[in-house]
Structure 1
Amino acid sequence: MNSDNSWSKNVQTFVWGDVEVTRVVELQVPFAPARTLVPESTTEVWTDNEDWLAPDHWDPGSDQAVVALQTWVLRSGGRTVLVDTSVGNGRERPDSPHFHQWQGNFLELLAQAGVEPQQVDVVVNTHLHGDHVGWNTLGVDGDWVPTFPNAQYLIPAADDFHYGPDNAYGNGAREDDRLIYEDSIAPVHRFGQAVLWDGSHRIDEHLTLESAPGHTPGSSVLRLDSAGDRVIFVGDLLHSPVQILQPGWNSCFCLDPVQAAASRRRILERAAAARELVVPAHFGGAGAVEVRKEGQGFTLGLWATLAM
């Protein structure tokens, strides 16, 4: 895969085909015990692969899985597209101590990437978990309003139903689900900027959304296919590279484990066959990796920094 890339601490830019892609990293930290994040994983899969899991994906000293909070900016067909919008500042998240009353520098990082809010044309929410929709909105005079005033927000219809009032905010399983919807999704509807989709949705000649349910009912992936380069942004289909080695292993956040595992295997099968670069929402380090078929499973190929 041919890529031009430049690196700074938090902003990295690649060119894939006719699409310029900028990765905006808010932070990369040890997040949770490895076998809490991926409950079915074994001690051995982490220790046996320490040479490449550490330090970007696993901290051996604390046995914590390392994750990144990040957004991908795609400049495609003359438009600016954001893939997920991180946590958002000043949110009530009582069920999520990592994100409760979060204060980050997301908008400053976007500005470093050359993006002002009014320049964003499309916001893609791969699913409606709080660390993917938080900067959909910002607080203005005690109210929540869309951060990106000129953007369409592409929201999976199945997630909008599940986490919205029609399904009583995720069946009332967590108070966070209601709060996330009310501060980060409902205002986008009120301002007429929400576009619900199901199955698949073409953004332009290079970019297509596709449902990959299981992690959430509307969990989705975004395919980039341009001038021979193929990239797939898989959201939370993967939280750790160990799930590539064992695609049947889910994260602790997957709502439907059977469906999530099936979606993960289907997406990885195609990625391996089509030589797609896989870009998960939370991978640290290079953030993107090629996948190879190996027997009944998969192995990792080149990371993005090497695939130039």
Structure 2
Amino acid sequence: MTSDPTALAAPLHTPAWTVGGVTVHRIDEVELPPQTGPWLLPRATPDVVAEFPWLQPDFAGSDRMLRLASHTFAIEADGLRILVDTGIGNGKERANPAWHRLRTDYLDRLERAGFSPETVDVVILTHLHTDHVGWNTRSHAGTWVPTFPNARYLVSRTEWDHWASVDMDGPRQQMFRDSVHPVADHGLLDLVEVPAGGLVAAPGVTLVPVPGHTPGQVAVRLDSRGSSALITGDCIHHPVQLAAPGIHSHVDIDPARAEATRRDLLSDLAGTDTLLLGSHFPPPTAGLVRAHGAAYRLHPVPARPGRPRATATPTGGQAPA
């Protein structure tokens, strides 16, 4: 199975949402193949999906198979240009056939949103999994170099310490070699302490600890002019986990903690006007959490077509030390 980079036709406009005075751009990379759902969330069977008709047609197909996507989010806050996660990346050796040696137009999409690589000030990595760090680097003259040469790459110290302490298999070692270590070698990686109450990474941008999927995973909360949004990372992979929060990913390091984190998060969001932006939710990608039966559902908030923007010049903004 290979991924066809033409599977996502390049839109004229970049999907975007307004959160107070902040615009959140969704930078599409690739739609994930149908086999991803049964592999990632094996308990979300077609029979389970059938119990929640609101999942169709946006979040599950007519065959009741989950739809998932790889994308990142680009925002500008207080003069800082921030990218949340960096997707799978191009041209990388990967054990997962759907991620192996991709050739997508991700950087073109990022530029179309007005975020050329050299203008990005901060890259927030919600966690260090392969499909969230790939565009940290790109190939240049036969080596992997940081894609965002003027950015500080923020990673939870808890996340870093975990991976530094475990015996990683070959594919994960390869991912660190091509997508993480080059950033550190260039002096661009910042390890940050994220307390229980969160860490302000920039005015209106807070890293919120959401452990379980990985020990140091963070979500990203945006607050502006009385409005708010939350970018999930992988504490919620798919809206089916709103309907059935006990469904966990088979790659959760601590499934029980991941479920507890998810339930607490959904309880806090339910009935509020905080926009939930899923890191793997297919379009419409965002919505409001509402109580539904014994659990929750997502009321979609479709993106508006953000206008193409001219490439900006580097801002010279400073990320937190």
Shared fold (TM-score greater than 0.5)? yes
Aligned residues: 292
Partner residue of 2:217? 219
Matched residue SS, 2:242: helix
Distance in 1 between the 2:286 and 2:103 partners? 26
Asked if 1:119 corresponds to 2:119, the answer is: yes
Distance in 2 between the 1:54 and 1:297 partners? 17
Matched residue SS, 1:153: strand
Distance in 1 between the 2:128 and 2:273 partners? 28
Distance in 2 between the 1:278 and 1:293 partners? 14
| Deviation larger for 205-214 or 22-31 | 22-31
Contact residue 215 and residue 253 of structure 1 kept, 8 A = yes
Give the direction of change, closer, same or farther, for the CA distance of 1:255–1:38 in structure 2 (3 Å limit). same
Partner residue of 1:14? 17
Contact residue 30 and residue 58 of structure 1 kept, 8 A = no
2:116 maps to amino acid = E
Give CA-to-partner distance per residue, 1:249-277, whole Å, 9 cap, x none. 11222111001101111111111154311
Task: Work out which of the residue numbers 26, 35, 38 in structure 2 matches 1:23.
Answer: 26
Matched residue SS, 1:89: coil
TM-score (normalizing by structure 2): 0.84
Percent identity over the alignment is 36
Matched residue SS, 2:158: helix
Give the direction of change, closer, same or farther, for the CA distance of 1:245–1:68 in structure 2 (3 Å limit). same
Partner residue of 2:148? 148
- Which consecutive unaligned segments of at least 5 residues does structure 1 have? 1-6
TM-fit CA distance, 1:192: 1.0
Contact residue 209 and residue 222 of structure 1 kept, 8 A = yes
Contact residue 10 and residue 24 of structure 1 kept, 8 A = no
Task: Work out which of the residue numbers 234, 253, 262 in structure 1 matches 2:232.
Answer: 234
Distance in 2 between the 1:260 and 1:131 partners? 18
TM-fit CA distance, 1:76: 0.8
Distance in 1 between the 2:193 and 2:260 partners? 18
TM-fit CA distance, 1:301: 2.7
Kindly report the root-mean-square deviation, in angstroms, between the aligned alpha carbons of the 2 structures.
2.1
Give CA-to-partner distance per residue, 1:34-65, whole Å, 9 cap, x none. 44432233543312334x4334322233x532
Task: Work out which of the residue numbers 38, 49, 54 in structure 1 matches 2:52.
Answer: 49
Give CA-to-partner distance per residue, 1:91-137, whole Å, 9 cap, x none. 1112x111111221111111111111110000011111111100001
Contact residue 81 and residue 123 of structure 1 kept, 8 A = yes
Matched residue SS, 2:145: strand
- Which consecutive unaligned segments of at least 5 residues does structure 2 have? 1-9, 305-321
Partner residue of 2:189? 194
TM-fit CA distance, 1:225: 1.1
Give the direction of change, closer, same or farther, for the CA distance of 1:243–1:10 in structure 2 (3 Å limit). farther
TM-fit CA distance, 1:227: 0.9
Distance in 1 between the 2:156 and 2:173 partners? 17
Give CA-to-partner distance per residue, 1:59-88, whole Å, 9 cap, x none. 233x53211111111011111100111111
TM-score (normalizing by structure 1): 0.88
Task: Work out which of the residue numbers 30, 35, 38 in structure 2 matches 1:32.
Answer: 35
Give the direction of change, closer, same or farther, for the CA distance of 1:35–1:137 in structure 2 (3 Å limit). closer
**More strand as a share of residues:** 1
Matched residue SS, 2:296: strand
| Deviation larger for 31-40 or 246-255 | 31-40
Task: Work out which of the residue numbers 241, 253, 256 in structure 1 matches 2:254.
Answer: 256
Partner residue of 1:105? 105
Task: Work out which of the residue numbers 176, 180, 199 in structure 2 matches 1:181.
Answer: 176
Matched residue SS, 2:68: strand
1:276 maps to amino acid = T
TM-fit CA distance, 1:33: 5.9
Contact residue 239 and residue 297 of structure 2 kept, 8 A = no
Distance in 1 between the 2:190 and 2:20 partners? 27
Contact residue 285 and residue 302 of structure 2 kept, 8 A = yes
Partner residue of 1:3? none
Contact residue 37 and residue 65 of structure 1 kept, 8 A = no
Distance in 1 between the 2:293 and 2:182 partners? 48
Distance in 2 between the 1:29 and 1:177 partners? 20
Contact residue 30 and residue 65 of structure 1 kept, 8 A = no
1:194 maps to amino acid = L
Distance in 2 between the 1:298 and 1:244 partners? 5
Distance in 2 between the 1:17 and 1:202 partners? 18
Contact residue 36 and residue 68 of structure 2 kept, 8 A = no
Matched residue SS, 1:215: coil
Distance in 2 between the 1:185 and 1:10 partners? 31
Give the direction of change, closer, same or farther, for the CA distance of 1:102–1:33 in structure 2 (3 Å limit). closer
1:21 maps to amino acid = V
